[in-house]
Structure 1
């Protein structure tokens, strides 16, 4: 059964006149008649009642027409979706990213990309690093912006830029007036931190381990904005990206840059290492990777 035969049947079911339909479809009457007979042979019953030169759709034809119209509509929808995917300018990219990137990196990249590909659409999803990586690995996301570098050979990782880290302390804290601070100086502090599944928490834990201590985490959260509020309330200090945390010694929270050589998180693009990418995904991936090592906002 061919889709064109279903389309011919649908036209004949609407007009019930072989001559008229064959002219409109620009096919011969015998070709149209043979196509209808093949359909009837396949379903095992006549779909039309014949009256000389006229046809009338019967009860079997009514049932078949309802399903044929749905099948035609589904095929046309599939063709449109595939055409969109093939077009590198008007397709859709499913992009995952860390929550904190949603406040600066993602808007920055999309605004720049919109200038060269205004018809590309995005499905955006902010989440923890492990979740973003897992969704890319299993095809639920096309690409991900995350940190740190994920493990596994099945993923392709492209580092984009390094984002310095700082220490958030409440105003009046013993370190609030410092220009820089070393992680080793924080061994006695109480920390508020993201949950362990977040990439930033993993980096902060490694910094503390390298400095010779295990951080005493008293409160955990899932959002950087909550950490800032907890620090402002005097409930602990936090290691966070300096992006969005300007050094302002007049507010309730002060950001003090960390001086450790490894006090940064590397922003990277993660993608499946194998398998085909649609043109729209490949174009956006290549564009983002071309921005590698640009200074952070």
Structure 2
């Protein structure tokens, strides 16, 4: 079966009209009609029901359309990968990241990278830490930006920095007004937390375990906006990153510093052992790794300016 036949069929299936499809494809109606007849003979079934006003895709046509679209998408993806190998400046890079990084880390990296390769395109996907790591392992994304560092021996890790953590409490909470709190102070507090597959929850569980107790998680959520809203509504307290200046979305909650020296999370980039296959992605990895090395020498995380004290409105988590 020729690629041209698939393209013609998918266009005809979309328009369900011979004249419109022929105009869009710039082929004559007789040519398109003969191609459809050849395809139907090859498959042994009619793909369209014929009506006076045009064509209507039948159940066989719907099945074949689904497979044809997938085949066309795979061919397009193959062309993109070849173009990537030939010209890394014009290739595509797929990035996965934990949701809170979408508000500062990812925009900063892409903004700084654009002058180096303005024609490179990016596919962005936010998700839970464990899901991002698995996507990198399976090759469905090129680079994952996660926290904390995953426990794995089949992936490479590029450390980028660390985020200090604080306690998010609703306005008027008994802890409000304190200069700091200890993780141990949370032993009897109802907590709002992300589900276990999220990196921030894994860090929270570790901190509580090190303090000698299991967190009293009253509500588990999968979205950061929901977590903030529930804390603001008084449903519990939450361990969240210290907010960055200018990044405080969602309901206002009060942030209190932790006195524990281990109340932070490392963040970085995870890639398949040896790096991604595409040249555009490999070029971006080198940029990220170079920024990590420069930041280590300057003592700052990539893209991180001077950090201020804990803000009243805690937005990132």
TM-score, normalized by the shorter chain, greater than 0.5: yes
Equivalent residue, structure 2, for 1:284: 284
Equivalent residue, structure 2, for 1:199: 199
- TM superposition shift of 1:245: 8.4
Asked if 1:183 is matched to 2:183, the reply is yes
* TM alignment of 1:139-218, pairs within 5 A: 139-218=139-218
Equivalent residue, structure 1, for 2:137: 137
Q: Is the contact made by 2:104 and 2:247 (CA closer than 8 Å) also made in structure 1? A: no
Equivalent residue, structure 1, for 2:98: 98
Bigger CA radius of gyration: 1
Secondary structure of the residue aligned to 1:226 is: helix
Secondary structure of the residue aligned to 1:153 is: coil
Q: Is the contact made by 1:92 and 1:281 (CA closer than 8 Å) also made in structure 2? A: yes
CA–CA distance in structure 1, aligned partners of residues 145 and 96 of structure 2? 6
Q: Is the contact made by 1:146 and 1:267 (CA closer than 8 Å) also made in structure 2? A: yes
* TM alignment of 1:69-84, pairs within 5 A: 81-84=81-84
- TM superposition shift of 1:128: 0.3
Calculate the aligned-residue CA RMSD, in Å.
2.9
Q: Is the contact made by 1:159 and 1:266 (CA closer than 8 Å) also made in structure 2? A: yes
Q: Is the contact made by 2:242 and 2:255 (CA closer than 8 Å) also made in structure 1? A: yes
Paired residues, what number? Answer: 227
- TM superposition shift of 1:221: 0.7
- TM superposition shift of 1:252: 4.7
CA deviations over 1:147-180 (Å, ceiling 9, x no partner): 1111222100111010111100011112111222
Q: Is the contact made by 2:276 and 2:282 (CA closer than 8 Å) also made in structure 1? A: no
Q: Is the contact made by 1:99 and 1:126 (CA closer than 8 Å) also made in structure 2? A: yes
Residues 1:78 and 1:246: Cα distance change in structure 2 (over 3 Å): closer
Asked if 1:119 is matched to 2:149, the reply is no
Residues 1:245 and 1:201: Cα distance change in structure 2 (over 3 Å): farther
CA deviations over 1:236-295 (Å, ceiling 9, x no partner): 0000111358899xx851011222111111111000014663221111111112222434
Equivalent residue, structure 1, for 2:109: 109
Equivalent residue, structure 2, for 1:225: 225
Secondary structure of the residue aligned to 1:119 is: coil
CA–CA distance in structure 2, aligned partners of residues 76 and 136 of structure 1? 21
Asked if 1:243 is matched to 2:219, the reply is no
- TM superposition shift of 1:199: 0.6
TM-score by length of 2: 0.65
Secondary structure of the residue aligned to 1:291 is: helix
Secondary structure of the residue aligned to 1:174 is: coil
Equivalent residue, structure 1, for 2:23: none
CA–CA distance in structure 2, aligned partners of residues 130 and 261 of structure 1? 26
Asked if 1:256 is matched to 2:256, the reply is yes
- TM superposition shift of 1:113: 0.8
Structure 1, unaligned stretches of length 5 or more?
Answer: 1-58, 64-73
